[in-house]
Amino acid sequence: MSKFTLPQETTPPISRRDVLYRGAGIAGTALLGNFAGVQWAYAEDKSAIGTWPAGSQGDTVYIGAAVPLTGTYAAQGEDELKGWQLAVEHINTNHELMKKLAPKIDKGVLGKKVELLSADSAAKPNQGVQVQQTFINQKKIILMTGSTSSAVAVALNKFAQREKILYMPGISGSNDTTGKDCVRYGFRQGFYGEMAANAIGPILVKTFGKNRKAAFMTPDYTYGHTTTKSVEDYLTKNAGWTVVTNQVSPLGTQDFSQYLTNIMNSDAEFLINVNWGRDAVLSTQQAKQFGLIPKMTLVLPYQIPFIAKEAGPDLTAGVFAATDFWWTLEDKYPLAKMFVDAFRQKHGYRPEWGAENAYVSFAHWARMVTQAGSFYPPDVIRQFEKGETIPSLLGDVHYRPQDHQCVRPVVIVRGKAKKDMKNNEDFWEVVEIVPGDTVIQPPDAFGCKPGDYT
């Protein structure tokens, strides 16, 4: 550039000033171009979203749990919390079990310690959302969890999508959570109404035959309505059962006498109790007081942690239930055994399915984040959506990209009589482990439209 060739006679001479201008122009354009290029790439994949990147810039990343510690679901909520706490502890200490579920953890995820924050949701949607909002404001949480009530799960689903923060519900039995209310930012590990119905239905029909009469007890919110419908659909369409009455009660009912009186005056042969938490314990105990049990056969389509402990094995003996996990599966699955041992050592009792679901949810999240190598939420979502086969406590599972539901086994258990119990927590025997893909509905059956990544 230092030397100019002399102009030919036919072309006009270029002034030094022009050269200066053009040079500056080219240089400037190049610079701008580069700069614009950087900007463009940033905007395409990694502009700040939700609590990213602020939430993962320190030494610690935070997870917020809105879990019922009071009210009808308090006992189950406490159990879930213990599962999450154990998972976080195992992530931060490279526990052998966690290493098997999420091999790339290294005393934390992506070089950060994980810390769990929790507060009471009382199983109320507005309280759950408030709790998470506080955690976002104060600690910039990068993952939300909690629910136990699907009403909370659905609310937190919407909240997760709005705030662009990942959400893994704890226990959530409603079809809607990964159905019509599904979101891009939500992933459910556990089983739910439709899977439970399709798993327990065939066993009920095989055991009790066709054309039977059933009464339902249903809690009055999304979990109850969708689960009752799924079980009812299975039994009426496949085996000609009739539903003689469906008693819908509000969450937190204590005296079920008026509902039970209606059932007593029906000619039901089966009492299908969809109530959950303490509602299930109370309604079942009172059904016995009214003589409905053992006159009618009790069925629990969506098993409740601790129901056998609280209501007593007299009530649950012989009862069929569908569940996510029961501790005697440790005999069959080595990872289940490791979990039961670790949990029992820490808490002094064998875990029920709330704790299992909680633990595995976090393990799967840790796996996805470490595999993706990024906390950036769309990267983690896409990692889940690859639908890779991954381990769980009950063998291999995978998440469906369409609705973010984990395709996992449903366990059918039957209550043991007291005399058959081998220890004081040996309440259920596993009757069957039903593969998830045989009981799950097509991904579009419940109207899931997950929404955007950003």
Partner 1 sequence: MINWANFISQCFNGLVLGALLALISSGLTIIYGTLGVLNLAHGAMFMLGGYAGWVAWSYSGSFLVAILAGSLFVMLVGLLTERLIIRYFYARPPEDQLLVTFGLGIVFVEAVRFFFGSLSKRLPPPDALVGITPLGFMMYPTYRLALLGIVAAALVLLYFVLYRTRIGMIVRAGIEDATMVSSLGINVYRIFMLVFGIGAMAAGFAGVVNAPVVAIAPDVGDAILVQTFVVVVIGGVGSFPGAVLGGLIAGEIISITSMFNPAYSYVMLFVAMTLVLVLRPHGLLGTASRE
Provide the strand spans (E) within 250-339: 270-273, 297-300, 320-323
- 310 near partner 1, rule: CB under 8 A: yes
Provide the strand spans (E) within 175-332: 213-219, 242-249, 270-273, 297-300, 320-323
Q: Which of 1-9, 161-169, 178-186, 306-314 is the region at the interface with partner 1 (rule: CB under 8 A)?
A: 306-314
| CB of 143 vs partner 1, minimal distance in Å | 25
Measured between alpha carbons, how far is 394 from 339 in angstroms, rounded to an integer?
Answer: 11
- 282 near partner 1, rule: CB under 8 A: yes
- 453 near partner 1, rule: CB under 8 A: no
Residue type, 179: G
Tokens describing residue 87: 């998972």
If you compute the radius of gyration of the chain from its CA atoms, what whole number of angstroms results?
28
Which of residues 163 and 310 has its CB atom nearest to partner 1 in the complex? 310
* Of the candidate residues 62, 259, 326, 339, the single one contacting partner 1 (CB under 8 A): 259
* Of the candidate residues 25, 209, 250, 435, the single one contacting partner 1 (CB under 8 A): 250
Measured between alpha carbons, how far is 386 from 370 in angstroms, rounded to an integer?
Answer: 14
The candidate with the shortest Cα–Cα distance to 403, out of 153, 198, 183, 170, is 183
| CB of 229 vs partner 1, minimal distance in Å | 15
- 306 near partner 1, rule: CB under 8 A: yes
- 66 near partner 1, rule: CB under 8 A: no
- Give the burial class of 381: count Cβ atoms within 10 A of its Cβ; 0-12 exposed, 13-18 middle, 19 or more buried: buried
Tokens describing residue 43: 């905007």
# binding residues, partner 1 (CB under 8 A): 34
- 294 near partner 1, rule: CB under 8 A: no
- 279 near partner 1, rule: CB under 8 A: no
Return all residues near 279 (Cβ < 8 A) that are at least 6 apart.
72, 219, 249, 251, 252, 253
| CB of 419 vs partner 1, minimal distance in Å | 20
According to DSSP, the β-strands at 410-415 and 406-407 are: unpaired
The candidate with the shortest Cα–Cα distance to 416, out of 404, 405, 424, is 424
Which of residues 279 and 403 has its CB atom nearest to partner 1 in the complex? 279
| CB of 362 vs partner 1, minimal distance in Å | 22
Provide the strand spans (E) within 124-231: 143-145, 166-168, 213-219
Which of residues 119 and 281 has its CB atom nearest to partner 1 in the complex? 281
Tokens 């029909």 map to which residue? 205
Q: Which of 55-63, 256-264, 357-365, 421-429 is the region at the interface with partner 1 (rule: CB under 8 A)?
A: 256-264
| CB of 152 vs partner 1, minimal distance in Å | 17
- 401 near partner 1, rule: CB under 8 A: no
Q: Which of 15-23, 49-57, 72-80, 155-163 is the region at the interface with partner 1 (rule: CB under 8 A)?
A: 72-80
Count of helices and strands (H, E) across the chain:
16, 14
Measured between alpha carbons, how far is 146 from 118 in angstroms, rounded to an integer?
Answer: 9
Which of residues 309 and 418 has its CB atom nearest to partner 1 in the complex? 309
- 262 near partner 1, rule: CB under 8 A: yes
Measured between alpha carbons, how far is 206 from 190 in angstroms, rounded to an integer?
Answer: 25
* Of the candidate residues 49, 264, 421, 431, the single one contacting partner 1 (CB under 8 A): 264
User: What are residue 390's DSSP bridge partners?
Assistant: 397
Q: Which of 130-138, 145-153, 183-191, 302-310 is the region at the interface with partner 1 (rule: CB under 8 A)?
A: 302-310
- 424 near partner 1, rule: CB under 8 A: no
Q: Which of 135-143, 203-211, 230-238, 254-262 is the region at the interface with partner 1 (rule: CB under 8 A)?
A: 254-262
| CB of 47 vs partner 1, minimal distance in Å | 44
Q: Which of 58-66, 68-76, 88-96, 182-190 is the region at the interface with partner 1 (rule: CB under 8 A)?
A: 68-76
Which of residues 255 and 444 has its CB atom nearest to partner 1 in the complex? 255
- 281 near partner 1, rule: CB under 8 A: yes
Measured between alpha carbons, how far is 388 from 146 in angstroms, rounded to an integer?
Answer: 25
Tokens 């022009």 map to which residue? 18
Q: Which of 18-26, 307-315, 339-347, 440-448 is the region at the interface with partner 1 (rule: CB under 8 A)?
A: 307-315
**In the sheet that 395-399 helps form, which strands lie side by side, from edge to edge?**
390-392, 395-399, 406-407
Measured between alpha carbons, how far is 443 from 454 in angstroms, rounded to an integer?
Answer: 22
What values do phi and psi take at 282, rounded to 5?
A: -65, -45
- Residues near partner 1, by CB under 8 A: 69-71, 74-75, 78, 220, 247-250, 252-255, 257-259, 261-262, 264-265, 278, 281-282, 285-286, 289-291, 306, 309-310, 312
